[in-house]
């Protein structure tokens, strides 16, 4: 075999490898939309403030609730076990009147979701009480997240809405930690809006948790992806 033939073989081999890597990249590219899906948990519950509801800086907002839908990908059967929410540590840091709409901004705060078969969630009245948040924070930790931001808007008439982002800290839902991977939003309603609210709670909360499905994937460097195809 001549040196020219060897060089030609090398060129062909390199071309083949580049084609293979390109093909692998394209396969990965087309596979991405599956990983870009959003999984959700739908929840309802009731909240209360440690101070005057939504009116004073430094007040802490609490919320206890239950999931009435969870994406099947998480493998939770709400017929035999419950997912319960406990939100705490959200402190009012600013309030701005936007022409009749009160914008309340919070700092800090955590959301914990527990999975248990006791099916014992009970809001009771005048929280905190014997069952709340206790029956909403028992079982195994499904998700623990730290709010990076949270804003609540109160409209005239008793309605409101909120949205916030979280970093995942722990729990079986994310199997580790993740950054900016969870977004929650929803409505809040007071008795002025006609909502039923147990005595001692200040707001009804109906929300959705949106989880970036990519949190369940493994991160890999481009080098390691290429290495997979070099073997």
Partner 1 sequence: MKARILFLAIVMLTFLLPGAVMAQQFFDYFGMTLLPDTVGDSLVMYAEVRDPAPATTPLPLDFDNYEYTMVITDLELVTDGFPEVYANGTIAIYEDNGTSADYAATGTFTDGTALLVGNVSMEIYHLSHVIPTNTTGNGTGTVDWIGGTNLNDFAPGDQVGWTFVVGTNSGSGLLEPGYDEVWDGKVEPVGVIVGTDRVTWDELKSWMK
Which residues of this chain interact with partner 1, rule CB under 8 A? 38, 40, 42, 44, 66, 68-69, 78-79, 82, 98-99, 101, 119, 121-123, 125, 153, 155, 157-161, 163, 183, 185-189, 193-196, 198, 204, 206-208, 210, 212
Q: How far apart are CA 220 and CA 151, in angstroms?
A: 34
Give helix 222-230 / helix 3-35 axis angle, nearest 10°: 120
| Cβ closest to partner 1, residue 110 vs residue 183 | 183
Q: Which is nearer to partner 1, 64 or 92 (CB)?
A: 64
- Residue nearer to partner 1 on the CB measure, 24 or 138: 138
Q: How far is the CB of 230 from partner 1 (least distance, A)?
A: 36
Smallest gap, in angstroms, from Cβ of residue 169 to partner 1?
Answer: 21
- CA 80, 82, 84 angle in degrees (round to 5)? 175
CB of 193 to partner 1, least distance (A): 4
Specify the residue for token string 């959301």: 111
Provide CB contacts within 8 A for 143, sequence distance 6+: 111, 112, 113, 168, 170, 171, 172, 173, 174, 182
On the 0-12 / 13-18 / 19+ scale of CB atoms within 10 A, 89 is middle
CB of 80 to partner 1, least distance (A): 11
């Amino acid at each position: 075999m001549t040196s020219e033939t060897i060089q030609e073989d090398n060129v062909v081999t390199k071309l083949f490898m580049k084609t293979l890597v390109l093909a692998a990249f394209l396969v990965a590219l087309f596979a991405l939309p599956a990983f870009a899906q959003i999984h959700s948990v739908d929840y309802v519950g009731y909240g209360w403030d440690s101070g005057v509801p939504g009116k004073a800086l430094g007040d802490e907002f609490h919320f206890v609730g239950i999931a009435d839908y969870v994406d099947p990908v998480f493998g939770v059967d709400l017929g035999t076990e419950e997912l319960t929410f406990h939100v705490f540590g959200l402190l009012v840091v600013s309030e701005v009147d936007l022409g009749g709409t009160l914008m309340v901004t919070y700092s800090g705060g955590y959301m914990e979701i527990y999975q248990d078969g006791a099916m014992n969630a009970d809001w009771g009245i005048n929280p905190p009480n014997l069952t709340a948040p206790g029956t909403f924070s028992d079982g195994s930790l499904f998700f623990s997240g730290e709010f990076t931001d949270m804003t609540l808007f109160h409209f005239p008439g008793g309605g409101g809405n909120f949205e916030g982002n979280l970093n995942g800290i722990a729990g079986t839902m994310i199997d580790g930690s993740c950054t900016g991977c969870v977004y929650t939003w929803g409505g809040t309603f007071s008795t002025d809006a006609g909502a039923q609210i147990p005595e001692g709670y200040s707001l009804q909360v109906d929300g959705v948790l949106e989880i970036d499905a990519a949190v369940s994937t493994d991160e890999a460097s481009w080098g390691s992806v290429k290495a997979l195809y070099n073997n």
